[in-house]
Amino acid sequence: MNKKIELQDLGTRSYKDTWDYQEQLFKGVLDIKIKNRREDLHIPTPNYFLFVEHSHVYTLGKSGDFENLLLNSNQLEQKHIDFYKVNRGGDITYHGPGQIVGYPILDLDNFFTDIHKYLRYLEEIIILTLKEYGLNGTRSEGETGVWLDVGTPFARKICAMGVRASRWVTMHGFALNVNADLGYFDNIIPCGIKGKGVTSLNIELGVEKVDEDEVKKKILKHFTKLFEAKFI
């Protein structure tokens, strides 16, 4: 099993360009798996982890409801916000500056073949990262992602998640609000969940700006430990 993961920080890149790139990597891993099975080969499959920051965009998962987008096409254009219906799980979410987006493209045959466990591990990585900042991030039953103050009237989401998997190969991932402009969430019903808010790490810490590189290092540290992986 290949537990090495190629780390790529793409900087700021449009959602569509990054989605296309994910699909390219995803297909490459699948092609190797199919070739191995058909020809009884044992070519190691690669794993990737992409960090990226997107320009303003709303994305709607394959089971999402268009009614959770509260803007029409003209309003999106006026506000310079892109919109895509995508092939991940989950409903609608926002990506934009000040948000750390992580896309693990892993062959889970290299780690463990359990999508439920995979999602819980992604949540745990964010929970452990938030703990280092003194925040008690938790799960909310039936709602993928990481929240604060679950079970109270002040429940708010700090990290959204949505993935796709085929033949145990993953794509898409998580979006952690670090220095995000939360005003953009007012134009959607985030993840299709009414009556709950969203938040960002800088707001929770009461600071103007959090060092995003530091947050990324913490995420990678916890990812390495949980997945018993090595970044290259």
Which residues are known to be catalytic? 191
On the CB side of 87, how many CA atoms lie within 13 Å of its CA?
11
Pairing of strands 138-140, 143-148: antiparallel
Structure tokens at 170: 């993953």
Element (H, E) at 48: strand 48-53
Report how far residue 7's alpha carbon sits from residue 57's, in angstroms, rounded to the nearest whole number. Answer: 24
Element (H, E) at 163: strand 156-166
| Backbone torsions φ then ψ of 149, nearest 5 degrees | 55, 45
Q: Distances in Å between the alpha carbon of 137 and those of 1, 25, 32, 119, 126?
A: 32, 31, 38, 15, 8
What 3-state DSSP class applies to 120? helix
Report how far residue 159's alpha carbon sits from residue 150's, in angstroms, rounded to the nearest whole number. Answer: 13
Structure tokens at 25: 């990597």
